[in-house]
Structure 1
Amino acid sequence: MELLITLAVIAIVVVAVVTLVFGGLRTSIFFTVKTQENVIVERFGKFKKVAKPGLNIKTPFVETTTKPISLRVRQLEVNIETKTQDNVFVTIPVAVQYVIGEENVVDAYYKLDNPEEQIRSYVFDTVRSSLSTMTLDTSFESKDDIASAVEYRLSESMARYGFQIVNTLVTDISPDQKVRDSMNSINAAQRDRVAAQSLAEADKIKRVTQAEAEADSRRLQGEGVAAQRKAIATGIAEQYEMLKQAGIEDTAQQLLLMTQYFDTLGDVARNGRSNVLFLPSNPGSLGDLFQEVRNSLLSAQEADRAANSVDTGFGPGSPQE
């Protein structure tokens, strides 16, 4: 019975040893590499080969493998605090996208111990050199130029170590909060000034247009009044000629005055604002009114003849040739 127990224990131990040996050999011989990754195989610490994606074989106890090296595009965020030419401190976040080329895996693994730190150093140096020659306003307008300068510097420097720079982005330029508040105040004042100038210009145009309209209205009104007076004068002259032809030349003036008088009364009655109009009622007063109108017309005619005589130099008492 004891012999059977001893043999069973020995068998169990042998199976365990064989399992461990062959399992360890299997894991030390075969290994897999994922897609978009490479693994470097070293023999006694010396580079042997680059293992591609899929199932790979290595010599057990002699060859070792490194950690997987990613071939995907990676992005590094770098925040840089620097000073512009006009002594304004700004913070500039820069995003650098880089990748390791499949043919450059060996250089990328062995030549640089910390590639991200190397990229940071180049970005810091390039951005600070660029910003030192720009004012704050210029830096906002030149974000793309800064990004291009960083990308050119990184591409040239990191290519020696097997890294390819895919893209470089300057995502923002952020000055201090007090500086931002001052810039906002300046921009608001400039917009207020432009708005005030626009309003003043619009008011000026409105006033000029209104003045031109009033001038045109007055001109047209004056032309209308002149045409009306000309028509009245022409009508009176025609009526006077008709009365002369009818043989009532001596009383033609009185008749015309009376006609104009009654026309005036009718116009006043239609368009006047007063409800009461005082007029002479006796014939003598009416005759006096006609006499005054006649005298006024005769005085005006005499004044016109005198003025014409003075202008021509043949007034009363002047020598005649």
Structure 2
Amino acid sequence: MGGFILVPILIIGLFILFASFFTVKQQTAAIVERFGKFQSIRHSGLQLKIPLIDRIAGRINLKIQQLDVIVETKTKDDVFVRLKISVQFQVLEQKVYDAFYKLENPHDQITSYVFDVVRAEVPKMKLDDVFERKDDVAIAVKAELNEAMSTYGYDIIKTLVTDIDPDIQVKAAMNRINAAEREKVAAEFEAEAERIKIVAKARAEAESKRLQGQGIADQRREIARGLEESVDVLNNVGINSQEASALIVVTQHYDTLQSIGEETNTNLILLPNSPQAGSEMLNNMIASFVASNQIGEEMKKKNLEKGIVMKKRPKRQTPPRPEEGEDLNY
């Protein structure tokens, strides 16, 4: 009979023993109440409480937490936009009591403040300013939250505007504007590249023409020098300049005919190539040289006679100037 009574007592004793101890994880705080009244705050490690009298009312996470809040509002230029605000916060270790007993739902409280600040700041900005000054929005949210939540034992570590999403039609219009701007810049670069090509090609052609002209001038200069030397050689053997020039022309004529006959891929060229035609060409050249010399001699004579007449013409007599006071009437 005594053994049956000992077993329940032993079981109850073990239950009371195990209920007296509890553990608290790292970066966590446990709130202990006694008969519904706050008793103490226990931190990480093995802790002791009175069974059936003390109870764990709750646990507070002391790690840095993040709350994402999506706010839809309107900008100054009447564009609806959705902003994603990420709030990083932490419960202060020395204010665990305030964080546990003063706020029923801290997430809802933080969300309300975020909505209030964002909808007060964004309507002051145009859509482009929202993208450029998103840090200003984040700073305003952090300042408002720090002032409000510090009373409840929460510290706002950082607030971030992680996403800005305009209306789908506005986004499409912005993409079209961006694409048109890039196409405009691309067209300007392509036009500039084409202009550079045209200028370079024109400069190359100009340089080619200059060198070609210089080559032709050098060629003609050498031909003239060779003709001059040929005429001098013929003059040394008793052939005058007219006959020498005619002989050189006829010789070049027949050399040309010979080169054309040797070339198989040349086109058909009709030239006077009979002996009579060559003789007529020579006679015509000599006659033209003689006529040119006669005309030149006649012009020299006329110029000479004109100069003699100008020298013999008497000078015009100018009457003497009257002396001062002399009568001009004759």
TM-score range, shorter chain: 0.7 to 0.9
Counterpart code for 1:180: K
2:32 is matched with which residue?
41
Query: What SS class does the counterpart of residue 163 from structure 2 fall into?
Result: coil
Deviation, structure 1 residue 243: 1.6
Deviation, structure 1 residue 52: 1.6
2:103 is matched with which residue?
112
Deviation, structure 1 residue 149: 3.3
Counterpart code for 1:274: N
Matched, 1:183 2:204: no
Matched, 1:82 2:73: yes
Deviation, structure 1 residue 230: 1.2
Matches within 5 A, 1:1-321: 8=1, 12=4, 15-16=7-8, 18=9, 22=13, 25-26=16-17, 29-60=20-51, 62-249=53-240, 251-269=243-261, 273-275=266-268, 277-283=270-276, 285-294=277-286, 315=303, 318-320=306-308, 321=311
Counterpart code for 1:202: A
Q: Percent identity?
A: 41
Query: What SS class does the counterpart of residue 307 from structure 2 fall into?
Result: coil
Q: Taking structure 2 as the reference length, what is the TM-score of the superposition?
A: 0.79
**Aligned partners of 1:317 and 1:296: how far apart in 2?**
26
Deviation, structure 1 residue 296: 5.4
Counterpart code for 1:281: S
CA contact (8 A) 2:247 2:282 kept: no
Query: What SS class does the counterpart of residue 172 from structure 1 fall into?
Result: strand
Larger mean CA deviation between 59-68 and 20-29 belongs to 20-29
**What RMSD in Å do the two structures reach over aligned CA positions?**
3.2
Counterpart code for 2:267: S
Counterpart code for 2:110: I
Counterpart code for 2:193: A
Q: Are the structure 2 counterparts of residues 296 and 180 from structure 1 closer, same or farther at C-alpha, using a change threshold of 3 Å?
A: farther
Q: Are the structure 2 counterparts of residues 73 and 238 from structure 1 closer, same or farther at C-alpha, using a change threshold of 3 Å?
A: same
**Aligned partners of 2:227 and 2:287: how far apart in 1?**
18
2:328 is matched with which residue?
none
1:4 is matched with which residue?
none
Larger mean CA deviation between 54-63 and 127-136 belongs to 54-63
Which structure 2 residue ranges, 5 or more long, are not aligned? 312-330
Q: Taking structure 1 as the reference length, what is the TM-score of the superposition?
A: 0.81
Q: Are the structure 2 counterparts of residues 136 and 318 from structure 1 closer, same or farther at C-alpha, using a change threshold of 3 Å?
A: farther
Larger mean CA deviation between 149-158 and 292-301 belongs to 292-301
Counterpart code for 2:228: A
**Aligned partners of 2:56 and 2:231: how far apart in 1?**
134
Deviation, structure 1 residue 275: 3.9
**Aligned partners of 1:112 and 1:42: how far apart in 2?**
17
Deviation, structure 1 residue 110: 2.7
